[in-house]
């Protein structure tokens, strides 16, 4: 059988499967489209860019961490880690539990955004086999109905076998879409979990350095971004040991 004959046979099988082959095909296109999109979107740099990691290491080596320096670094390197750190930095000066809560809320929001385009793939995993099963049930009903109404002397066994053969096409097609879709969804979810582990490492690295600013006053996002107007409050600084007051007598 040459290639043209194979294509013709596949096309004939597709048509024999009936109308439900079209939604199954549509679901396969959904899986391919969103699978490629998520593979590109969930690259390693989407979570913790190398420049952000190196910038944080450099900031840590220059002494006490400067919230404004880190905030500008996050703006220059958009990513999941940058979004979480910015949410924490906007709470600098508040109690540490508030910083932790801000980080958790930001991570949940980012996770929801990253999982959004995996849901169509998960939907295909669930729906496509059901479409195939529905097509098979429909085909079995037609096969038995046709067999029951054959003329006397007709080969009922051959007619029934042919009907069942055609009815099973949709189930086969549905499984051919659902199984790869399940594997793709599982792989993408694993990549997201791995990425958030890296984000947690960055948060655990920065959070202890922000504790020193607790109850020292807050900065607005504009001030963190370096847009502090003249006469406004300076960045909160770590507490220093008290010094004795000096009185000058005239």
Residue pLDDT, tens place only, 190-232: 999 999 999 999 999 888 888 887 766 566 666 666 654 444 4
pLDDT at residue 245, rounded to an integer: 37
Domain range enclosing 158: 18-43+119-197
Integer-rounded Cα Rg, in Å, for the chain is 31
What is the tally of structural domains in the chain?
A: 2
- Residue 239 forms part of a structural domain: no
pLDDT at residue 31, rounded to an integer: 96
Handedness of CA 170, 181, 179, 128 (dihedral sign): negative
Mean pLDDT of the 73-99 span:
90
Band of pLDDT at residue 164, cut at 50, 70 and 90: confident
- Residue 172 forms part of a structural domain: yes
Distance (Å, whole) CA 21 – CA 24: 5
Residue pLDDT, tens place only, 19-44: 889 999 999 999 999 999 999 988 87
- Residue 170 forms part of a structural domain: yes
Instruction: Looking at the structure, tell me whether residues 78 and 102 fall in a common domain.
Output: yes
Q: What is the pTM of this model?
A: 0.76
């Amino acid at each position: 059988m040459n290639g043209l004959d194979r294509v013709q046979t596949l096309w004939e099988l597709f048509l024999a499967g009936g109308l439900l082959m079209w939604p199954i095909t549509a679901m396969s296109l959904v899986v391919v489209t969103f699978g490629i999109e998520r593979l590109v979107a969930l690259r390693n740099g989407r979570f913790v860019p190398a420049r952000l990691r190196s910038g944080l290491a450099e900031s840590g080596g220059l002494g006490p961490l400067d919230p404004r320096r880190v905030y500008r670094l996050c703006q220059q390197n958009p990513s999941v880690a940058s979004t979480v750190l910015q949410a924490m930095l906007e709470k600098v000066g508040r109690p540490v539990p508030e910083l932790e809560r801000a980080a958790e809320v930001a991570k949940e929001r980012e996770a929801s955004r990253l999982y959004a385009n995996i849901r169509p793939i998960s939907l295909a995993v669930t729906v496509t086999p059901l479409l195939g099963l529905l097509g098979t049930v429909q085909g079995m009903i037609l096969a038995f109905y046709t067999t029951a109404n054959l003329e006397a002397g007709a080969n009922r066994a051959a007619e029934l076998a042919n009907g069942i053969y055609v009815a099973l096409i949709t189930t086969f097609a549905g499984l051919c879409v659902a199984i790869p879709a399940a594997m793709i969804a599982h792989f993408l979810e694993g990549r997201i979990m791995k990425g958030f582990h890296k984000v947690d490492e960055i948060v655990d690295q920065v959070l202890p350095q922000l504790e020193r600013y607790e109850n020292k006053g807050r900065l607005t996002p504009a001030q963190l971004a370096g847009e502090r107007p003249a006469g406004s409050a300076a960045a909160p600084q770590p507490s220093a040991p008290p010094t004795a007051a000096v009185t000058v007598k005239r």
